[in-house]
Amino acid sequence: GDVYKRQNESDAEILQEQVYNTRKLVHKDETLRAIIQSEATAYFEGQKSVDEAAAQIQSRVSIYLAEQS
């Protein structure tokens, strides 16, 4: 079977609704945006599971924020 759980139509619709209905940007940081975009792209292209992508985002953001302080 497929090792990666691909998003279904419902998952994609929920994510799209959340993205398009977001009205506030709490913290603008291009590095954070790039990390999230990179990992989200890997998920949507089937290269990573949602859990792998989320864990990688958390790890990379934690490292980045630690380096900033």
Taking the CB of residue 8, how many other CB atoms lie within 10 A of it?
A: 9
- pLDDT digit string, tens, across residues 43-63: 999 999 999 999 999 999 999
User: Does the predicted model carry a pTM greater than 0.85?
Assistant: no
What integer pLDDT is reported at residue 22 of this predicted model?
76
Average pLDDT over residues 24-28: 69
Are 47 and 4 a contacting pair, CB within 8 Å?
Answer: yes
Distance CA 61, CA 8 (A): 27
